[in-house]
Structure 1
Amino acid sequence: MQIDPANIKKWNVIYPVYINSKKTVAEGRRISATKACENPTCIEIGDCCSYLKIPFAIELDKAYPRDFMQRGRVRVQLKREDGSLWNSEIDSKKQLMLRIAELIPKHHGRTKKQEPVNTSTAAGPSKSGKGGRKKK
């Protein structure tokens, strides 16, 4: 699919903060914390958009206005030029954000990161015997 840079300015913008469960509504979260996901990235949001067959463009040089340290945003096109939807199940930006937040925990990058944490069962080094100084 061909992306027209002049028309991209009309596309919807999704910042990762919008679906971050770690953020408050005052900090920019747009969906409920129970439905949001933990620390999403622009790459994961883009992957979810491609899975949903929705055109997107990642802009890593942009920052969220309320938190300028949070870099990156994703532009998405919900409707075609003729007004028809790209994905018939998603007809609003809010529905798209909810669907993305649902998909991100299942993202292939997330599942690989969590495996090593779950497999370690060692409680840590344990020292046997009494503590303290030896008596002479």
Structure 2
Amino acid sequence: MEGGSIANIKKWIVMYPVYINSKKTIAEGRRICTTKACENPTCIEIGDCCNHLKLPFAIEIDKAYPRDFMQRGRVRVSLKREDGTFYNPAITSRKQLMLHVAELVPRHPGRNKKQEAASASSTGPSSSKSGKSGKKKR
């Protein structure tokens, strides 16, 4: 749990990783366009991005997204202080928060290692296969 008054946490914005996941459709819960969205973000990455943007946040692991209850976790973020001023003047709405976080997640330090490992494993054994496949013409 990070910063702010915990008593007021119910008023904070809820952000599920699905909202900025480029692999999901609008029907599955994505809230921003695929060109701006990022691939499979996690709550920890979203939390770190909020920390980078100097916004207080709280990660709730026990919660699940209603449309996809296998996807665990969400992040609560506060945009305003008690007096109504914004923590980060560049982020004044839920949509702006999603766009900023989606932009930062791919640059997350823990992210690069994961993607390199995924790309290395996918190019391994499958490259030995020949290009021809399927039915032969008669």
Whether 1:16 and 2:11 are equivalent positions in the alignment is: no
Taking structure 2 as the reference length, what is the TM-score of the superposition?
0.82
**Higher alpha-carbon Rg:** 1
Q: Distance in 2 between the 1:13 and 1:53 partners?
A: 17
Match of 1:59 in 2: 60
Shift in CA distance, 81/103, structure 1 to aligned 2, threshold 3 Å? same
Q: Deviations over 1:27-74 (max 9, x none)?
A: 100000111001000000000000000000000000001111110000
Match of 2:91 in 1: 90
Whether 1:50 and 2:51 are equivalent positions in the alignment is: yes
Matched pairs, number: 125
Q: Which amino acid aligns with 2:111?
A: R
Q: CA deviation at 1:116?
A: 4.3
Taking structure 1 as the reference length, what is the TM-score of the superposition?
0.84
Match of 1:132 in 2: none
Runs of 4+ with >4 A deviation: 116-120, 122-126
Q: Distance in 2 between the 1:2 and 1:66 partners?
A: 29
Instruction: Give the gaps of 5 or more residues in structure 1.
Output: 127-136
Whether 1:73 and 2:77 are equivalent positions in the alignment is: no
Q: CA deviation at 1:4?
A: 2.6
Q: Distance in 1 between the 2:23 and 2:41 partners?
A: 10
Q: CA deviation at 1:18?
A: 0.3
Shift in CA distance, 41/2, structure 1 to aligned 2, threshold 3 Å? closer
- Secondary structure of the residue that 2:6 maps to in structure 1? coil
Q: Distance in 2 between the 1:97 and 1:65 partners?
A: 19
- Larger fraction in helix: 2
Q: CA deviation at 1:6?
A: 1.9
Q: Which amino acid aligns with 2:63?
A: K
